[in-house]
Amino acid sequence: MTRRLCVVLGRDVSRSLSPMLHQAAAAQCAVDLAYVPVSCADDAHFHRAIDALMTLGASGANVTIPYKRLALARSHRVSDAAAEMGAVNTLTLTSEGTLVGDNTDGPGLLRLFEALPDERFARVQLLGAGGVARAVGWALARRGVDARQIHVCARRRAQAESVAALVGAKAGPFERIAGTTLVLSGLPVEASIAERAMSEWVDTAVRPMIYDLGYQRDARETPLTARARAVGLEAVDGRAMLVEQAALSFALWTGSDVIAVAHAMQQAMEEAVSALP
């Protein structure tokens, strides 16, 4: 069996949970896999890493902050989803030396959104307009959410409008949106931001679900989900999204069944959480 080489590329991925997830999937699917985190200090470093992977005949790479748009530009061809989101988080290196860009963030989120009841999407507030926000917009549109009920809030109005334009949503500054039923946060995972979000920007009147798209590197809950649960709200963090997008990436590289892969990854995540002191 030939060993496959895959990596995760980002600014600082030294504590990424991705290696744990992919190794669990490899064990489940009997795939001989080496999955390595590679931190890239700048754009030039990212390009050198891609060159090295192509020389080594690697199978693929996951790409995270802040290189998803650079990965799009570097790809020889891209999937429709990646083109629509304007970002690549998964690179597949073919035997012909072609670099194929895809985005599993959006489809991964869509799988999670499909498990939520329609009433959760009656009024949606997206906090932040960074890289993951475009994937959120893509997934909301495919979930059939009424664009008139989606509000994108960000510090930079131009960024908010760019994301909102993907689905015809509303854009504006950080503010409390009355009657919100689902809050999706693409904001940094920081206690001070969580405090401000819950006290100033989230309307708790109709008990919205709080979905923090970020996650803690040690698999603990985020400050935002902890703050939301403290006031009795349903809250989840980005670990579920991480599992879904990772499972789709692994399936792209290996042809494995995505359901079995996601199950193995979810089990590994649960074991990591249960082992926390």
Q: Hey, which residues are catalytic here?
A: 68
CA distance 272 to 167: 37
Tokens of 248: 């789709």
Tally the residues of the chain: 277
**Order of strands across the sheet with 124-127?**
170-172, 150-153, 124-127, 182-185, 209-212, 235-236
Measured CA to CA, the distance from residue 111 to residue 258 in angstroms comes to 12
Spatial separation of the C-alpha atoms in residues 124 and 214, rounded to whole Å = 18
Q: Which residues face 152 on adjacent strands? A: 126, 171
Q: Which residue has the tokens 């008139």?
A: 148
Site of tokens 């891609």? 50
Q: What are phi and psi of 93, to 5 degrees?
A: -100, 115
